[in-house]
Structure 1
Amino acid sequence: MEELWFPPYDLQRPPLLVGGAQEEFSRRPENFLKGCKWAPDGSCVLTCSDDNTLRIFNLPPPLCGPPAGPLPEMEAALRVPEGDAVYDYAWFPLLDSSLPHTCLVASSSRDNPVHLWDAFDGSLRGSFRAHNHLDEPVAPHSLCFSPDGSRLLGGFEGSVRLFPTARPGRLHDIRPLRRGRGQGGLIGCLACSPAQPVFACGSYGRSLGLYAMEGGGALALWPRLPAAPTHLRFSPDGTLLFAGGASRPRPQARHILCWDLRRPDRLLLGLERHVGTNQRVTFDLDPTGQFLVSGDTDGFVTVWDTLRPPSPGTPLVPPQLRFQALRNCVNGTSLHPSLPLLATSSGQRVFPTPWDSDEEGAADSDPPTRGDNRLQLWWWGGEATPRRP
């Protein structure tokens, strides 16, 4: 049987919109999405939305090339309701859909334990419980698995807790981060290096730290960033660390920042984007680590070539490509691990204006603004061709 070879991303033009899901998120008013993530094996994509529900959508078959026409509306293969607002969620990194015991999703929600869900039937596989000094249950605001899947990291107020994945319950290690010139505030984002036993965590106190998995103080610390980090990513070889935050209330903090961890004292790259709210807007790297893609609150998707030299006299890298996906916030972007396929999620909380009321004269005013809440799939390559032996 011939193996299919998929050409690299075609960045000379915007990608082709091939399908998505909108009706799934329209059954509840203003059910905006909170990001999307392809499974590690690329078999499905995971979303979270304001109705506190995780949804899994299977990869439409077959997507070995651009389809002849638009795909049918995608329907969720699985819905997993959480008990309250979902803070974060993460795929088990060793997921293989041919091995059911590896098909796991972790989620953290307000006033609940961290749950480990079965990605096939939605059953609860286990719970990880954390308590504060008053023995009250607390939930992490960020989650991340170690690359080998043996540990689940959770970000708390001034600390990171490490849970053994194989032993759900209350057993875990606590890593305080406030010591000396450490990190204070709530840890809102986490990332583990795919190449070294280290992890990075970003605090709402506008700090970023790098720590060894086995303990000790900060290996590197950036105490006062322009904005609080809301999303972190390591490059595939573990040498680069990317951090993106919100520009509100600091309009000058419009960048995804990048450091070379071999020289952490100087900023390597700055990638400009517009994030005008406190919403977490995620970004993603392609499997080679060369291209970074992100949405923004204006509905644009931007791609940068991280190997491209910055502009003279500044660390800013000009965009490789920018296109408008929607006229609403694109809060999540995720690149398929083996196909030139991009998933985007959209939506944001919409507050009614003073004239959106039932008072006399309201019928003569414009209708209230509604968000465009949907999952979209974009084909970003050419035709698939067979690889000759």
Structure 2
Amino acid sequence: KTTPSPTKRQSVSTAGAAPTTILPPNTKNLRRRRRLEVRGQRDAAFWSTMSVTEAVGEEEENHPSDSPSGVEEMTQPTQEEYSWPVIRFDVPPHRTYHFYHQYRTATNPNNFLKGVKWSPDGSRFLTSSEDNTLRTFTLPDYGSDGDVSNCYTASDEDSYAANLVMNEGESVYDFCWYPYMSALDPVSCVFASTARDHPIHLWDVTSGKLRCTYRAYDSMDEITAAFSIAFNPTGTKIFAGYNKAVRVFDLHRPGRDFKQHSTLQGNKEGLTGIVSALAFCPTQSGLLAMGSYSQTTAIYREDNMELLYVLHGQEGGITHVQFSKDGNYLYTGGRKDPYILCWDIRKAVDVVYKLYRSSEYTNQRILFDIEPLGRYLGTGGQDGFVHIYDLQTGHWVSSFQAASDTISGFSFHPYLPMAASSSGHRRYVVPDDVHEDVPLSGNENCASVWSFTTASMVENDADTNDHDFNSLSEQENLHQDP
């Protein structure tokens, strides 16, 4: 590799430095050249809406701030004012919103949900169901001064209708949000999905239309579907899992252009079988974890797909992998496997601990999630309960019943003390009962949003009770006879 020139090295180092750093004389030319290079790499058909964003960026450059320190003064209070809510898991959450009518139709009364995921900005959540449909629900009053933690009252109606409904042609294998999705930037409001016998689709959340596709072909020049997908941490590429292979698509170049990497090395070491789950390390360390239906998990380097570790120990095929917030641990779950395994990727020798969940009798993919602070993990199971575990000790903390059937997905809100759950499983009709309807309650095949109690809420309640008690004591003293 060639060593960059001093001018280039200086320009790169000053790009992320403080505004008071002295820039070289040709900084303006470097900015213009870099902007033209990035603009030339973008596909015109895909980024057609970028003109508005570029116009805003050019206007900001034409009218720079007179005082760079003013920017620091504006952003500094915002970072200090916000603090992560500390959730009290010892207090049962209450159901804020509930949805089940929208997932039941006359043609498919036994439809069930496969999973739920919050958007990175927390403005909405996305669900996948057996009817080959993806639905997005926007959180009411999100980002305003309104209270989003209103308690849901049991009724025969859904809390509100889905904002967008997107239909896939076949069964949906996997879906994921663009990592830098923000409702304030319509260009970033996208998510990717993969379905059987279909290419990877990139959906526009603002319109519900298909923005572009990423196609992979087999040796017979036929479209082959990805079993799992994930965006890399920088949001520039889509990694897709196939049988003994991973294909990498450039997000800015839709079509059939991709790079293919085998999951097996020259000595046949690596990941065998279908790549069923993908996860990137959140600490920008360049690590990629991949799970397969062959009951193994492997860790690779993102840049050159170099094999680092192969982890054995799962009883069933891997269905979900996720790194801890600090990037030191990896959690894996499998089908027909009652345990989520915790691995220390710094050693990768043995399992640190196991987290139990009731999934030993189902092939269904059950998604778990780690709360934003990285201390607790929530997972569902066949018993209809969501179990919370302390990741520092591996001990069970609490549980609450989220549905009357299998909890297929559980996702924490990225900023608020809330979570979303999805439930349902495939029901087989007995031949003798073909003409009989299968009665389902509102707590089956449903999606729910839950609000947790925080430590600040408990403190405020305690202060309120003390204030009420003191006021009552004062009133009693006033009414006493002299």
Query: TM-score normalised to the size of structure 1?
Result: 0.89
What corresponds to 2:465 in structure 1?
Answer: none
Aligned partner of 1:298 among 383, 386, 406: 383
Q: Match of 2:409, SS?
A: strand
Shift of 1:114: 0.4
Aligned partner of 2:398 among 304, 321, 335: 321
Q: Distance in 2 between matches of 1:106 and 1:144?
A: 8
Larger radius of gyration: 2
What corresponds to 2:306 in structure 1?
Answer: 217
What corresponds to 1:185 in structure 2?
Answer: 273
Alignment of 1:67-86 (within 5 A): 67=150, 70=153, 73-86=159-172
Q: Distance in 2 between matches of 1:119 and 1:219?
A: 37
Shift of 1:307: 0.8
Task: Say whether residues 1:36 and 2:116 are aligned partners.
Answer: yes
What corresponds to 2:423 in structure 1?
Answer: 346
Alignment of 1:4-153 (within 5 A): 7-27=85-105, 28-61=108-141, 64=147, 66-67=149-150, 70=153, 73-153=159-239
Q: Does the Cα contact within 8 Å between 1:89 and 1:143 map onto a contact in 2? A: yes
What corresponds to 1:158 in structure 2?
Answer: 244
Q: Does the Cα contact within 8 Å between 1:94 and 1:102 map onto a contact in 2? A: yes
What corresponds to 2:363 in structure 1?
Answer: 278
What corresponds to 1:204 in structure 2?
Answer: 293
What do you get for the CA RMSD once the two structures are aligned?
2.2
Q: Does the Cα contact within 8 Å between 2:140 and 2:148 map onto a contact in 1? A: no
Q: Distance in 2 between matches of 1:57 and 1:65?
A: 14
What corresponds to 1:312 in structure 2?
Answer: none
Shift of 1:289: 1.2
Task: Say whether residues 1:378 and 2:450 are aligned partners.
Answer: yes
What corresponds to 1:314 in structure 2?
Answer: none
Runs of 4+ displaced beyond 6 Å: 383-386
Shift of 1:56: 0.4
Q: Does the Cα contact within 8 Å between 2:181 and 2:189 map onto a contact in 1? A: yes
Task: Say whether residues 1:330 and 2:407 are aligned partners.
Answer: yes
Task: Say whether residues 1:356 and 2:441 are aligned partners.
Answer: no
Classify 1:379/1:235 alpha carbon distance in 2 versus 1 (closer, same or farther; 3 Å): same
Shift of 1:6: 6.3
How big is each residue's C-alpha offset from its partner over 1:249-277, in whole Å with a ceiling of 9 and x where there is no partner?
A: xxxx3100011111111211210111121
Shift of 1:302: 0.2
Q: Distance in 2 between matches of 1:19 and 1:12?
A: 21
Aligned partner of 1:289 among 364, 368, 374: 374
Alignment of 1:218-237 (within 5 A): 218-223=307-312, 225-237=314-326
How big is each residue's C-alpha offset from its partner over 1:121-163, in whole Å with a ceiling of 9 and x where there is no partner?
A: 0122111000111111101010110011111011100011111
Q: Distance in 2 between matches of 1:376 and 1:349?
A: 19
Larger strand percent: 1
Q: Does the Cα contact within 8 Å between 1:183 and 1:223 map onto a contact in 2? A: no
Shift of 1:197: 0.7
Q: Distance in 2 between matches of 1:355 and 1:307?
A: 51
Q: Does the Cα contact within 8 Å between 2:423 and 2:445 map onto a contact in 1? A: yes
Q: Match of 1:320, SS?
A: strand
How many residues are paired up? Answer: 366
Classify 1:356/1:210 alpha carbon distance in 2 versus 1 (closer, same or farther; 3 Å): same
How big is each residue's C-alpha offset from its partner over 1:307-365, in whole Å with a ceiling of 9 and x where there is no partner?
A: 12xxxxxxxx331001222210110000000001010001111011343135xxxx7xx
Q: Distance in 2 between matches of 1:178 and 1:370?
A: 46
Aligned partner of 2:331 among 222, 225, 242: 242
Shift of 1:173: 1.0
Q: Distance in 2 between matches of 1:4 and 1:237?
A: 21
Q: Distance in 1 between matches of 2:152 and 2:438?
A: 33
Shift of 1:68: 5.5
Q: Distance in 2 between matches of 1:6 and 1:178?
A: 42
Residue type at the aligned position of 1:145: F
Residue type at the aligned position of 1:303: I
Q: Distance in 1 between matches of 2:254 and 2:110?
A: 35
Shift of 1:368: 3.7
Q: Distance in 1 between matches of 2:110 and 2:129?
A: 10
Residue type at the aligned position of 2:450: W
Query: TM-score normalised to the size of structure 2?
Result: 0.72
What corresponds to 1:265 in structure 2?
Answer: 349
Report % sequence identity.
Answer: 35
Residue type at the aligned position of 1:26: R
Residue type at the aligned position of 1:100: P
